[in-house]
Amino acid sequence: MHGLSDNLEIRVVGAPVAAGATIDDNSSRIDMADYESVLFIAPITDSVATGVATLTIQSSDADSDDDMADVDGTASTVTSAVNDDVNGTALVSELYHPAKRYVQATRTSATANIAYGSVIAILTPRQRPAVQGATISDTAYAAN
């Protein structure tokens, strides 16, 4: 029997971001040459009423932030109705078979303050078992 960690690679690709109303923060870029898909998770740690939190996947054929462009259909968005109502939730966006080689997650905020936790990327490698990268300190697996 195989667990999820044999089939998925997990990476921490973005540090937490302090509260701000005009955040535009990119994760590390990922070379998708050996992967089928990527799913990004961006936890929201603080929110102010009317704050808009968005997670979008960007892609490019070049390993450069200058060439990145939003991928249609990947924007995950929530608007805070009252202070702290979306705290402890997360935005999730997935891209299957990207058309471009490099991807990154972009966290933005608008209107009022939003704060984010670390961005996590979950990748589906073409070859298995998956090998966890340097941002994962240890893994454990048990089957009962």
Over the stretch 50-84, which tens digit does the pLDDT of each residue have? 999 999 999 999 999 999 999 999 999 999 999 99
The Cα–Cα gap between 1 and 49 comes to 47
> How would residue 1 be classed by pLDDT, with cut points 50, 70 and 90?
very low
Over the stretch 111-134, which tens digit does the pLDDT of each residue have? 999 999 999 999 999 998 899 989
Name the residue ranges covered by the structural domains of the chain: 4-124
Q: How many degrees, rounded to 5, is the angle at CA 132 between CA 126 and CA 134?
A: 130
Q: What is the pLDDT of residue 138?
A: 92
The Cα–Cα gap between 26 and 41 comes to 13
Q: What is the number of residues in the chain?
A: 144
Over the stretch 91-111, which tens digit does the pLDDT of each residue have? 999 999 999 999 999 999 999
Decide yes or no: CATH 2.60.120.380 for domain 4-124: yes
* φ and ψ at residue 43, rounded to 5 degrees: -65, 145
Q: What is the pLDDT of residue 6?
A: 87
Do the Cβ atoms of 11 and 133 come closer than 8 Å?
yes
Q: Which residues contact 9 (CB under 8 A, 6 or more apart)?
A: 35, 122, 123, 124, 125, 130, 131, 132, 133
Average pLDDT on 87-94 reads 98
Q: What is the pLDDT of residue 141?
A: 84
pTM, to two decimals:
0.95
Tell the residue number behind the tokens 């921490």, with chain if given: 12
- Tell me the three-class secondary structure of 73-88, residue by residue: CCCEEEECCCCCCCCC
